[in-house]
Structures are given as C-alpha cells and as structure tokens.
A and B are shown apart, each in its own frame.
Chain A
Amino acid sequence: MRFLAVDDSPTMLRIIVNTLQRLGYPEVDGASDGVEALEKLRRGDYDLVITDWNMPHMTGLELLQEMRRDPRLKDIPVLMVTTRSVKEDIVQAVKLGACSYVVKPFTPQILKEKIDQALSVATGR
C-alpha cells in the first residue's frame, strides 16, 4: 500500500506520516499542497490520498476536483483530514468524491478507521 499525505503544515504532515507508519503503512510520501500532490500522483502509483483542505496554491478540494477529472487518478480514494466541519463543506467534498472525512485534531484510531473505510469503498467500486 502506497499513500500520499498532503498538508501545508510541515508539523502536521510529519505527524500524519509518522502515524500512518505506526499504523502499519510504511510507504507514505508527503506533499505540501495540491500542486505538488498532483505532480507526485501523475508520476507514481498511489493507493490512497490523505489531504488537508486549507492549503495555498491549490486546496484539498481543488486537488480532489483535478483528480476526478484525470482518468488515471479518478479512482484513487481520497480521505479529507481537516478542521473544517461545516455541513456545506462536507456535502461539497462528498459531491466531488471524497471517500471519508477526518476532523482535526484526530486520534490514530480514528485515522485507521477512516483509512479502512476509504480503502473498502475503493475496493467495492
């Protein structure tokens, strides 16, 4: 399993990568915004994208939108990890195809639960 974690906060990115490794997913790459994430996604094979919402240059939602437009990336499950929990935001994320949603600050258990959920949705497609 190869994951891509996307967050503009270096601290948060490191916490997500470390937590994923602790949860048994050693292959995790990081990107600091949507633009870098898209470049990495187009270059490599990833099984799951875990992305923040608020980022400069390209937000998590714009990244999701771009991924769904790209035939090669459209089926990669995307998990949003964000402080935003306004109903309209969640609806928007789901409309664009987010598989699951984690509210920051999160516990490793919640992250694990949502990753399993996102991966099972992806395999069920």
Chain B
Amino acid sequence: MQEDTVRREAAVTRQHLELLLKRVAEVRALFILVERITPFVEDLVEFVYDVGPMLLNASKALRETSLKMPKASRQLDDVTHATEVATTQVLDRVDDILHHLEVLRSAVDEWSRTRRSLARARRRARRLARQFPENPALQEELEEIASELTRAAGSLRQWRNLDRVIESSQECSYEIMSALQVQDITAQQLAAARDLIDKVHTRIEELLRQLGDEEEEGEDRTQTRRSYDPDAKFDFSISTMRQEHVDRLLESLLRDRAYGGEPVVREGAKTADPA
C-alpha cells in the first residue's frame, strides 16, 4: 500500500518535472527569440528616434504649406476678379466707341445728304442764270453762288472716306470684343488650378490629422465655385480646328438620328479634340 503511494507520487513528480522541463525549454526558446529580435528592436527604436524629429519637421513644413494654400486660392480668385473688372471696363469702352461710331455714321449720312442738296442748289442756280441772259449782273451773281456751293460740297467731299474708316473701326471693336473671350477661358483655367490646390490642401489636412496635428481655423470652403472645363484653351486656331471636328461629328450624329438610329460613339477616337 505504502509502496503504491510512493510509486504514484513518483509518477506525479515525473510529470511535473517533464512539464517544468518543457516550460524551461519554451522560456529558453523565448530567450533565444528575444536575443535574435533585440537588434531589430534596437534598430526600430533608433529609427523611431531618428524619424520622430523628421516627422515633426515634415509636419511643420506641411502645416506651413497648408496655411499658405488658402491664400494662394484667394490670390487666384483675386486675379479672376481683377481680369473680370478689367474686361468689363474694356467692354464698356468698346461699347462707347461703337456708340461714337454710330453718331459719326449718322453725321456722315447727314453730310452726304447735305452734299447732294448743295449739288441740287448749284444746278438750280446755274439753270436760273441761263434763264436771264439779258441780265449779266444777275448771271454773274448766280454763277458766284453756284461756285460757292461747289466749294462747300467739295469741302464735305473730303469726308467721303470716313464711311470706310467707321466700318474698319467697327470691325476692330468687334475683334477686340471677340478677343475678350480670353477672360472667360483664363477664369476657367484659374478655377481648375484653384480646385487642384483645394484638393491638395484637403489631403494635407487629412495627413496632418493622422500625424496628430489638429487643423487650424480654416476658411469657409463651401462657397459657390465657378464651374470649369480643365481643358479650356484660348486659341482661335485650335477652336477653329475643334469646331471643324465637332461639325463633322455632329453631321454624322444628326444623320444617324434622321435615320431613326441612336447617336453612338464609334470605336476609335475617344475625343473630337484634335489639339
């Protein structure tokens, strides 16, 4: 009985010892692992130690850049506004010039009518003179009046080219007006640049938040923005080329529709834009 008890105790003790040895082996393996990992951990600590100030610097640089971005956007808006004001002023002056040219045209028309009535009066004076051959003094007087009328008509004649000058000035004014489309197109280009700045700004702010840097008091970005075409270009030769391509495409699309088909984009060209 006592012998059995001793045997059981010995078995339990052996089990405990085996377990203990197993644990010791595990701890040993762990130590070996720690020993192997330690250089990596040291490297990691060193890396964090080095990267910390770098991140701090990067965060500062990003914050500075981020703070400048709303100003850059505002400056772009100011440029758009300034060009709009300047263009409006030019358009006002073009309107004034066109109005003055209209006044001049009326004056030229009036001068033409006056010249024709002077010519009629001169012919009547000469006709009258011929009706009184017995009165040379009256004839001489009438001839003098006719000459006076001829001189007056002649002085008005010098303005006969004014019509062409007015016409060419009107053409120039209309050309200036057409060229002012540049304002709309540059405004679209600036709106595209502004949108890009805003997108970069938002991304930087997100990054700074992730780095633990709280966003500074920002500007209201909810205001209505101008819609734009990022590919807008001010070039009459390009727009003429684009127009020709659009015309060809439009013709074929309208033909498809006329024959009851749906206008489709055929394989090949993705764009009608040759530029």
- Render A49-61 as a binary contact track against B, CB cut-off 8 A, 1 for contact: 0000111110100
Q: Tell me if B265 and A87 are in contact (CB < 8 A).
A: yes
Question: Which of B187, B235, B263 has a CB less than 8 Å from the CB of A9?
Answer: B187
- Size range of the chain A interface in the assembly: 35 or more
Q: Is the interface of A mostly helix, strand, loop or mixed?
A: mixed
- Render B233-275 as a binary contact track against A, CB cut-off 8 A, 1 for contact: 1111001001101100110011001000011110001111100
Within 8 A of B (CB), among A87-125: 87-88, 90-91, 94-95, 100-108, 110
Q: Say how far B97's CB is from chain A's closest CB, in angstroms.
A: 12
Q: Tell me if B239 and A11 are in contact (CB < 8 A).
A: no
Known A-B contacts A22-B174, A83-B233, A94-B254; A102 and B243 likewise in contact (beta carbons under 8 Å): yes
Q: Say how far B149's CB is from chain A's closest CB, in angstroms.
A: 39
Chain B positions near chain A (C-beta within 8 angstroms): 84, 87-88, 91, 95, 174, 177-178, 180-185, 187-188, 224-229, 231-236, 239, 242-243, 245-246, 249-250, 253-254, 257, 262-265, 269-273
CA A107 to CA B244, docked complex, whole Å: 13
Known A-B contacts A83-B233, A103-B246; A59 and B227 likewise in contact (beta carbons under 8 Å): yes
CA A100 to CA B235, docked complex, whole Å: 21
Known A-B contacts A83-B188, A86-B273, A95-B262; A105 and B227 likewise in contact (beta carbons under 8 Å): no
- Render A7-36 as a binary contact track against B, CB cut-off 8 A, 1 for contact: 111111011001100100000000000000
